[in-house]
Structure 1
Amino acid sequence: MKMEFQIEHEWNSSPITHDPVKICLKPALEGLHLNVCAPFFNDPSAPPGPAGEAFPGLWDYEVVEAFFLNGETEQYLEVELCPHGHHLVLLLSQRRNIWKDCLPLSLKVSRTDTRWKGTAVLPWDYFPPLVDKFNAYAIHGSQSERTYEALYPVPENEVQARQQPDFHRLEYFRPFNFSALMGGKWKQPLSSLWKI
């Protein structure tokens, strides 16, 4: 079984003007496979840190992000993958409140001049209890060309004048059900990290 998503809008519901980022979620014994297939803009250029390692502030580069949320407690997992092989995994409790970051992640990236693919396994320990909402994002470009895209964007009629993109607007996340992916009798494993 798998779930597939395509990011077809910018954060404010404007349609994108390139091939969409595709995200696929698949079950794995040790966690969840997160697969990304996306256009490669190479803008900005690669972060200065070594590929294969966590990079703080990765959101300032070209990334695809997946967020897994417990809508009641506002505890969530944020995973960022970069076409240059860097990653960033954050655990947040309440909006924007990072309490653990730079968690290790096994990420494999392949790239051509125009596209990139990333595959990572997200350990079950990283997920907060009772994940029931999801959103995904993509960012690329520099300065005035910086583009922020969202799977579930802010509805066009709710965008305010001079509003800036904010990927932590948890109210726009949509329902997500692990049982639909893992099977009806599956129960999310308890996490040792989320005993806070």
Structure 2
Amino acid sequence: MPDIDIRTDWRGLAAPPAEHVAIALGRANSRVIVEVDAPFHGDPPPPAPPGPTWELWEHEVVELFIAGPGDHYLELELSPHGHHLFLRLRGVRTIVERDLPLRFAATIHGRRWSGRAELDAGLLPAGPHRINATAIHGRHPRRYLSWLPLPGSTPDFHQLDAFRPARLDTAPIAPGSPDRSAAP
């Protein structure tokens, strides 16, 4: 599975190193592991307790999109405060299932945060897969970062044609994971 380094804004312009986000993807048995290392920008948490949170994209968040053939895809949103949102979509922004099962924990370490999410690999859309990852923070101005540049005059992260092919069926477990023995 690929490691993802978000180093540009949504248009593909270089972002300052203080905004760079690293995402490591891996597999452990029947689970997909997503590990995030990101700057903490100090945005306030959502008003709900940590856990599944609707409209998380309105807050400081790192997002991972995983698409299959056609218009089937997953959107995983992770926040430094322990909130998350996990959606299944069919068609651009057409949610067919929300609050999919997910284990997620996040820790803020001064000016950075780290998080680890685990999801059942059976939730992935059929392959071949395509992915993109994004990060959003700030209020005025709001900052939109993307692993891959996206066309258009405003940030639109649901452009499946801009996603990059990725093999998600086999890969080593994400770095820093305690269960390296499960890697294929």
TM score, norm. by length of structure 1: 0.83
Distance 1:78 1:177 in 2: 17
1:58 to 56, 73, 87: 56
The code of the aligned residue for 1:59 comes to W
How much does 1:180 deviate?
5.3
Consecutive aligned runs of 4 or more in structure 1 exceeding 6 Å deviation: none
The code of the aligned residue for 1:3 comes to P
Higher Cα Rg: structure 1 or 2?
1
Is 1:169 aligned to 2:159, yes or no? yes
Q: Is the 8 A contact 1:7 1:151 kept in 2?
A: yes
Pairing 1:1-196 to 2, within 5 Å after superposition: 3-17=2-16, 18-43=18-43, 45-51=44-50, 53-70=51-68, 72-142=69-139, 144-154=140-150, 158-159=151-152, 163-179=153-169, 181=171
Question: How many residue pairs were aligned?
Answer: 171
Distance 2:168 2:121 in 1: 12
Using the aligned pairs only, state the percent identity: 36
Distance 2:112 2:138 in 1: 15
Distance 1:179 1:131 in 2: 9
Higher relative contact order (Cα pairs below 8 Å, separated by 6+ residues): 2
Question: Aligned to 1:32, what secondary structure does the other structure show?
Answer: strand
TM score, norm. by length of structure 2: 0.88
Distance 2:92 2:166 in 1: 18
Distance 2:19 2:59 in 1: 19
Distance 1:168 1:101 in 2: 16
Structure 1 alignment gaps of length 5 or more: 183-196
Q: Is the 8 A contact 1:54 1:104 kept in 2?
A: no
Deviations 1:137-186 (A, max 9, x none): 000000x31000000112xxx55xxx11000011110111124526xxxx
How much does 1:31 deviate?
1.3
How much does 1:125 deviate?
2.7
